[in-house]
Structure 1
Amino acid sequence: MMNQIPSIPERQIRAQYDDRTIRVYQAYSDAIALSALEHGTFVSPPFKTERMTWIKPSFLWMMYRSGWGLKDVRQARILAVDISREGFEWALAYSCPSHPSGSISREDWHRVKEDAPVRIQWDPERDLMMHPQPHRAIQIGLSKQAVDLYVQKWIQRITDVTPLAQNIHTLVVAGNFELARNLLPVERPYGVGT
C-alpha cells in the first residue's frame, strides 16, 4: 500500500516559526531595506507608517510577488522579519477579510473593514516555477495602530534574504529544482494559540 501525502487545506497558515517568533517577508527598495537593517526595525522616513504594509509568511509567495527581487527596484530587497507570535496573533484577532464573504452583508463588511486595523487576504500559494497551487497563502495587511505596533513592539529581528532568493532563483532557471527546493525555508502549519 502506498503512503498518501496528506493534502494541504485550502486555507492554512504555513510559516517558519519557533516558540517566540514567526517569520514574515517583505520586499522593499534599497533605501528602506538598508535603514531597516541598520535600525532593527522600519523607521520613517524612508518607511511610511501611514500606509498599509503587507506581511507574508510564505517565502514562495513573496518570491512570486517580488519576482525574486528582480521585478521592480521598489521590491529589490527581500527581508525576513521575525516578529513576536503575540503580535502576529493580535493581528489575526483584529483583522477583517479584504473581501466580503459568508453571510455578512456588503454594508456590514464595509463598516467592519473601516474599523479593523488589519486586513487578511488569501491568495494561491506558488511553487518554485511560480505556478499557482490549489491551497492558499495568507497575506496580512497592517494599517493604523497595527503598523505602529509592528515597527515599535513586534519586530524582533530583520534579515536580508535577498542573496538566498537570488541563489534559489539561479538554481530554478538552471533547472536544478532539487537543489533549489533544499534551500527553501522550512514552513510548517501554524496553529494560532499553540
Structure 2
Amino acid sequence: MIVDKIMLMNKHEIRADYESKSIIVYQAYSKAIALPAVQHNRFVAPFSLNRMTWIKPSFLWMMERSNWGKKPGQDTILAIRISRQGWEEALSQAVLTSYDPHAYRISQDEWNTRLKQATVLIQWDPERNLRGKSLPVRSIQVGLSRHIIERYVNDWTLEIRDITPLVRKIRGLLQAGEEAKARDFLPRERVYPLAEALARNIGCR
C-alpha cells in the first residue's frame, strides 16, 4: 500500500505499482471512452490518437485530479498496465514543461527549442495523501503526444482494468471515517528505479 512517510523521500521521484516487466499508470475518462477500452483491452474509438494524453503512476494524485471519479468526463478510472520498456522509452524522449538547468545543462533557449519539438512532456505536481492534502514531494505526469501515442496504444499497453468500484469503496470508507480500512485497499506503490541519465533527464532529484 501507499505509505504516508514521504518526508524521507526525494523531492522528485517516481512512486508506482510495478513488477519486473510492467508498471501501472492511471487515467480517468468518460464511460464512452473507458468501457470500450476495457472491453477490447486496448484503446479504441472514440479514444483519439490525434491529441495528447496524460498518464500518471500515482493513484492518489489521480484521485485528486478526478475528484475520486466525480468530475464530469472523468467518472471511470482506469488502471493501465504497460511495459516498463515502453514506460522508459517515453521517459527517454521526454522534455520537462518547466526549464531545469540541472536536468539538461543547456540554455533556456535550447530548452525552448526542445520543448517545441518534444514528443513526450513531463510535469511534476504536488503529491497527495489519502485525505487529499498536498505533500512536500512531487508526483510525475507524462504527456504522450500524437507522435508517440500509437506506441502507447498498440505496443506498450498490456492490460486495461476499470478500477472505479475500488475507487468508490475507498472513498466510501473515507467518508465513513474508516481511514485505516481505506488505506488497506490502496495500491502498493514504491520508488521506481531509474538509471542516472534517465533520472536526470526527467528532473528526478
- Report the TM-score when normalising by structure 1: 0.93
Matched with 1:96 is 95
Q: Which amino acid counterpart does residue 12 of structure 1 have in structure 2? A: E
Q: Contact 2:6/2:137 (CA < 8 Å) preserved in 1? A: no
Q: 1:99: how far off?
A: 1.4
Distance 1:115 1:17 in 2: 30
Map of 1:160 onto structure 2: 162
Partner AA of 2:15 in structure 1: R
Deviations 1:147-180 (A, max 9, x none): 1100010000000000001110111111111001
| CA RMSD in angstroms, aligned pairs only | 1.7
Give 1:131's aligned residue: 133
Q: Which amino acid aligns with 1:139?
A: Q
Point out 4+ residue stretches in structure 1 off by more than 3 angstroms: 103-106
Taking the TM superposition and a 5 Å limit, the aligned residue runs for 1:68-107 are 68-72=68-72, 74-102=73-101, 104-107=106-109
In structure 2, the partner of 1:27 is 28
| Partner Cα separation in structure 2 for residue 159 and residue 187 of structure 1 | 17
**Equivalent-residue separation in structure 2 for 1:122 and 1:54 (angstroms):** 12
The residue that corresponds to 1:67 in the other structure is: 67
For the residues of structure 2 that align with 1:5 and 1:127, how far apart are their CA atoms?
9
Q: Where does residue 186 of structure 2 map in the other structure?
A: 184
Q: Where does residue 200 of structure 2 map in the other structure? A: none
Q: Could you tell me how far apart the structure 2 residues matched to 1:101 and 1:190 are?
A: 21
Partner of 1:16: 17
What TM-score, normalized to structure 2?
A: 0.88
Q: State the Cα deviation string for residues 78-126 of structure 1 (Å, max 9, x = none).
A: 0000000000000100000011122544432221012221001111100
1:75 alignment partner, SS class: coil
Alignment CA distance shift 1:6-1:134 (3 Å): closer
Q: CA deviation at 1:5?
A: 8.3
Q: Secondary structure at the match of 1:26?
A: strand
User: Over residues 15-42 of structure 1, what are the superposed CA-to-partner deviations in whole Å (9 max), with x where a residue is unaligned?
Assistant: 0011111000000000100110111111
Aligned residue for 1:108? 110
Deviates more, 1:112-121 or 1:84-93: 112-121
Alignment of 1:24-63 (within 5 A): 24-43=25-44, 45-63=45-63
* AA of the residue aligned to 1:163: P
SS at match of 2:148: helix
Quick one: which amino acid aligns to residue 89 of structure 1? E
**C-alpha separation between the residues in 2 aligned to 1:107 and 1:25?**
33
Inter-partner Cα distance in structure 1 for 2:94 and 2:39: 30
